C-alpha cells in the first residue's frame, strides 16, 4: 500500500515539474507586425560633410553609401520613369496605320510615377531601386560638386551592347531598362516578330544628390539612351522590314523617408 501511495505521490510531483517547465518556456507574445518591420531598419547617425572629396575611390564610396541609404534607413520612396522615344523609322511598315506609335510603345515610351513602401513589400521595395557596389574600374568618370546645401556625385559608365540581366552596369542601375527579351515579348503583344534585335545603351549616368548636413540621400537620378535596331520585322503580314528607334530614359527617385 505504501509503495502504491509513494508511486502516486511521485507521479504527481513529476507532472507538476513538467507543467512548471512548460509554463517557463512559454513563447513571448508576438511582436505586432508594424513594430517588427520598423525594428529592422537602422537609425541614421547624421554625419556632416565638411569638404567635398576629390579622390575617385572616395567618391565611389560616397555614391555607394548614397544608394545603400534607401535599404538601410528608409521606408518609402517615389520613383518617376520618363522614357521618350524618337527617331522611329519603320521602313516598309509605314503603310500600316500607327506603326510608328506601336513601336514607340515597344521601345518603352512612358511617363509614370510609383510609390514604394518597405512595410507593404520588402521585395518590391528593394527590386525597384538600384543596387550598389559600383567601382571606379567600371566607370568612365566620377565627379562631385557642392550645389547650395547638397553634394552632387555624378558617375558616367561606358556604353553597353545588348545589355543583359546578368552582366554590365545598366541592369543594376535601372531594373526598368529594355533588353532583347523585353522587345521580343512586346513585339509578340502586337502580333509581331523580328529575326534579330540589336540594342546599344549609351550616356549611362547616375547622379546622387546628398545632403551635406547629415549625409542623407535627397534624390537619385539615373539616365541612359538606348538605340534599337530590329531586322526582319513582321507586322500585319508585312515582312522583311528594318525598324530603328532611340529611347531616352530618366528615372528619378525622391521623397525618401523613415
Please provide the average confidence, as pLDDT, over all residues in the chain.
84
> How far, in Å, are 18, 125, 239 from residue 130 at the CA level?
54, 10, 39
For position 257, what pLDDT does the model report?
Answer: 85
Residue 12's pLDDT band (boundaries 50, 70, 90)? Answer: very low
Mean pLDDT of 149-178: 93
The grid coordinates listed for 62 are 560616397
Question: Average pLDDT for residues 60-86, to the nearest whole number?
Answer: 95
The pTM (predicted TM-score) of the whole model is 0.81
Domain boundaries, the chain: 49-257
pLDDT for residue 129:
95
Q: What is the pLDDT of residues 16-51, one digit of tens each?
A: 433 343 333 333 444 444 444 444 787 777 788 878
49-257 CATH:
2.50.20
| More reliable by pLDDT, 155 or 102 | 155
Chain segment 112-136, per-residue pLDDT in tens: 999 999 999 999 999 999 999 999 9
For residue 175, the SS3 value is coil
For the chain, percent of residues with pLDDT exceeding 90: 66
Summarize pLDDT for 207-249 with one digit per residue, the tens.
999 999 999 999 999 999 999 999 999 887 777 789 999 999 9
Q: What is the pLDDT of residue 108?
A: 94
pLDDT the model gives residue 164: 87
Q: For residue 248, what pLDDT is reported?
A: 98
Question: Angle 142-144-149 (CA atoms, 0-180°, nearest 5)?
Answer: 155
Residue in the structure block whose three cell numbers are 518609402 = 76
Query: Would you mind telling me the total number of residues written for the chain in this entry?
Result: 258
Amino acid at each position: 500500500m505504501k509503495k502504491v501511495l509513494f508511486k502516486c505521490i511521485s507521479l504527481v510531483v513529476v507532472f507538476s515539474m513538467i507543467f512548471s517547465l512548460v509554463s517557463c518556456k512559454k513563447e513571448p507574445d508576438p511582436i505586432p507586425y508594424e513594430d517588427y518591420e520598423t525594428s529592422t531598419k537602422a537609425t541614421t547617425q547624421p554625419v556632416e560633410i565638411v569638404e567635398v572629396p576629390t579622390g575617385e575611390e572616395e567618391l565611389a564610396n560616397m555614391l555607394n553609401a548614397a544608394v545603400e541609404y534607401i535599404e538601410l534607413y528608409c521606408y518609402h520612396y517615389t520613383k518617376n520613369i520618363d522614357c521618350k522615344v524618337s527617331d522611329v523609322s519603320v521602313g516598309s511598315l509605314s503603310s500600316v496605320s500607327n506603326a510608328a506609335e506601336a513601336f514607340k510603345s515597344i521601345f518603352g515610351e512612358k511617363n509614370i510615377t510609383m510609390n514604394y513602401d518597405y512595410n507593404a513589400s520588402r521585395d518590391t521595395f528593394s527590386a525597384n531601386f538600384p543596387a550598389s557596389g559600383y567601382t571606379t574600374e567600371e566607370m568612365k568618370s566620377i565627379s562631385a560638386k557642392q550645389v547650395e546645401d547638397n553634394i552632387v556625385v555624378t558617375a558616367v559608365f561606358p556604353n553597353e551592347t545588348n545589355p543583359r540581366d546578368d552582366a554590365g552596369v545598366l541592369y543594376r542601375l535601372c531594373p526598368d531598362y529594355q533588353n532583347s527579351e523585353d522587345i521580343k515579348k512586346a513585339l509578340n503583344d502586337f502580333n509581331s516578330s523580328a529575326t534579330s534585335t540589336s540594342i546599344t545603351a549609351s550616356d549611362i549616368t547616375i547622379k546622387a544628390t546628398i545632403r551635406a548636413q547629415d549625409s542623407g540621400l535627397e534624390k537619385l537620378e539615373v539616365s541612359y539612351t538606348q538605340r534599337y535596331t530590329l531586322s526582319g520585322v513582321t507586322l500585319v503580314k508585312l515582312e522583311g522590314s528594318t525598324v530603328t528607334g532611340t529611347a531616352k530614359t530618366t528615372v528619378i527617385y525622391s521623397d525618401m523617408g523613415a
